[in-house]
Structure 1
């Protein structure tokens, strides 16, 4: 039994920085069964945003005329080259992590799948290790419903390894992952159909957001099938047949992407050998400081169910680091929800939706500005979408906001910062902003707040 001061299971966006931080205090065992860097580096942010960028270049090549640019016909996406560029970016990130680990004599890297023997004893292949403080950072993976197990399917991992463009990509699931891959592969040249069980896309968003995103994708010639409550999939050779609602609709494609949700990678940890509590879905129960019910054991990143983003995973690291060092200033409950949907144009969200604010009993005021009323957006030729703010009528503070439109993923940070500062919206409204920009119209939007949205 090899003894360490700290054990970290998983090298994702919470685990790696924590390993380097804890190495200043003692010996660290870092366990990784796959590639270093976790989801973000290997099959999340880094590769998908590289693909989004390539898809945008493809779109630009086909839309020169509207901007007065004559671009000769014949532009074609080369998926092999797109993948090669992505692989270089991913490899660079992995190698950077590996080099830093190998040069740190306080960190020992174990390659293999870990499982608990007991609360503080862990097995990896033929090794057995122990520590008084253990940090579980095993991430999550795509859910594969049983009804799809007998056909060839792709996940967010597999689709990034394709070297040949799908002729017709069918996507099951109309949420964030499915929409991003749907738009990028349509722009690469595939025919794309998205199948959603509900009556709208990304149902956690407000209806006007869902409707606007559906319109954006449909204008890109992406087919969307709603209300697919019953889906039956069969395969004959390379042909995949999807029957919706007992055959009311039949769709034939060449590739099938499953994007119906994520599940934590805790099922291989043999948590039944410990006293660590977890819920029916496998998410490990934690408190405000990422502590489990078992002293000295923490769960960080996607596997604790408190966030499903790189930025929340990194914040888990910050919370745990401060807790270990004794400051205890950061807490999960202090986090303000924020995230992006990286279609083009992107959606950025911070705080509550209108539906959430109303459900929680807030009296709200809404500010809204369509992108086609914003000068810089018109000049850029990118007028799809809108920006919207949700204000607490009693405190004049932001409850939430979204920007669906050009630059939205960057613009939202200004509102995010104001929310953390707990300052009224009037600070933003009365400030002077650079002209000409898209974000300068946020103050204009905030000058005309209404009890309900103006459509």
Structure 2
């Protein structure tokens, strides 16, 4: 047999790649990982972790305002963007060091440079060095898309938003998905005037319709502006830094920043996939089978680069399954049914299972239970914002097939509730469970 430098080379040190490398090494494999930027990937470095920290920071705007009705007098509150930005970036640096140390503790060799496939068992590093492995795993993730618009170089994406020198007084956010709606809430709470531009008339496509409508109503009431069925023709930067945006479908706009959050595409450019003979799908994703294997037997792929479900926990689960199957003699496949989702908007949305429309199309006969209420804290604070919880039940079996929520702490509550949906518990099981009073979560077991 041909002798290789490593048993496994992983290209990309994001959540999926790091998990695969660590677990494979724990199974006794000799492992190397290649990362051209920072260890930790999108989630840790420029995605869900720093964004969630911004969301925590943004929540203080409402919390401080509500505090007055609870007896707290907090005069002279001001927000300092550089303080939050720098603290968030420092935390990102701390986490990167932890991820790097974890790999070192498992004796994983780290190459801090770009790598590309040179064949079915070889990777060429940016230095020109070529390393070989019995198995290669591609875990390069995805990156934000930018439209072919004149002047798009003046815009930013979620990659750059964490490094802004100053808080924009006016920001235009393009997109209708979770990233666009999350940053809309963040910047609005920080005091920016936010305009969301969407090329269709629907936000958060794929989420339950009632929850989408509720978030839109609340966002409009807060003062976030929406431009539907609108497109960008061009962006021009004036001498004073103002961005003048020529629009189609609505009036032209002016802003200090334009943020594109219109989707993400797999990072496959310049990876040498052609040289290795790896097949791609129609969206540029690496095509894999149920065991994460490409059409080339020695090459696998996990995470966003495969464009199955672009979520960090999914990439981690895929990396674990890959390592256990290939190096741990424990064949494992990922079950993609009932993957929970969250939108950390203001207020947040959390969802698992089928929406009402999907359930009706798939099952035919369903029962829907809803609880539309004003949280106790909002009542005393004088805030009219209402929460909505929704349970979808298969009428034939009484099994809960979908659970959808919008309201404070909805993602925290749904994580536990998602276990019940995954376990195929029934509405009768929920009904038989005592309420924990007074909580928002008790609404889940009180719906009739």
Give the alignment's TM-score, normalised by structure 1: 0.92
Indicate conservation of the 8 Å contact 1:58/1:76, yes or no.
Answer: no
- 1:153 matched to 2:149: no
Change (3 A) 1:151 1:23: closer
Indicate conservation of the 8 Å contact 1:14/1:316, yes or no.
Answer: yes
Change (3 A) 1:389 1:380: farther
Counterpart of 1:195? 197
- 1:244 matched to 2:247: yes
Greater shift in the superposed pair: 261-270 or 286-295: 286-295
Structure 1 gaps, min length 5? 448-455
Distance in 2, matches of 1:222 and 1:293, equals 47
- 1:337 matched to 2:339: yes
Indicate conservation of the 8 Å contact 2:69/2:380, yes or no.
Answer: no
Counterpart of 1:305? 307
Distance in 1, matches of 2:442 and 2:288, equals 41
CA drift at 1:50: 0.7
> What SS is found at the alignment partner of 2:130?
strand
Counterpart of 2:86? 84
Structure 2 gaps, min length 5? none
Find the partner of 2:399 among 397, 406, 410: 397
> What SS is found at the alignment partner of 1:417?
helix
Counterpart of 1:314? 316
Counterpart of 1:124? 125
Counterpart of 1:413? 415
Counterpart of 2:292? 290
- 1:278 matched to 2:284: no
CA offsets 1:225-284 (integer angstroms, 9 cap, x no match): 1121564433323121223326x4121111100010000101121211122221122111
Change (3 A) 1:230 1:192: closer
CA drift at 1:354: 1.6
CA drift at 1:380: 7.5
CA drift at 1:315: 1.1
Counterpart of 1:63? 66
Distance in 1, matches of 2:46 and 2:310, equals 14
Distance in 2, matches of 1:267 and 1:397, equals 44
Counterpart of 1:32? 35
Distance in 1, matches of 2:286 and 2:276, equals 12
Distance in 1, matches of 2:153 and 2:271, equals 28
Equivalent runs, 1:434-453 vs 2, <5 Å: 434-445=436-447, 447=448
CA drift at 1:154: 0.7
Distance in 2, matches of 1:210 and 1:162, equals 29
Indicate conservation of the 8 Å contact 1:6/1:29, yes or no.
Answer: yes
CA offsets 1:397-437 (integer angstroms, 9 cap, x no match): 12111110112101112331112222222112211132111
Distance in 1, matches of 2:382 and 2:4, equals 61
> What SS is found at the alignment partner of 1:350?
strand
Counterpart of 2:175? 173
CA drift at 1:23: 1.5
Number of residue-to-residue matches in the alignment = 441
> What SS is found at the alignment partner of 1:147?
coil
Distance in 2, matches of 1:231 and 1:388, equals 40
Question: Which structure has the higher relative contact order (CA within 8 Å, separation 6+)?
Answer: 2
CA drift at 1:139: 0.5
Equivalent runs, 1:338-417 vs 2, <5 Å: 338-372=340-374, 375=376, 378=379, 383-417=385-419
Find the partner of 1:48 among 47, 51, 54: 51
Distance in 1, matches of 2:317 and 2:262, equals 26
Change (3 A) 1:379 1:387: farther
CA drift at 1:68: 4.0
Indicate conservation of the 8 Å contact 1:376/1:437, yes or no.
Answer: no
Counterpart of 1:453? none
CA drift at 1:381: 6.6
- 1:253 matched to 2:243: no
CA offsets 1:60-89 (integer angstroms, 9 cap, x no match): 2233334443332x3221111001110121
Indicate conservation of the 8 Å contact 1:19/1:28, yes or no.
Answer: yes
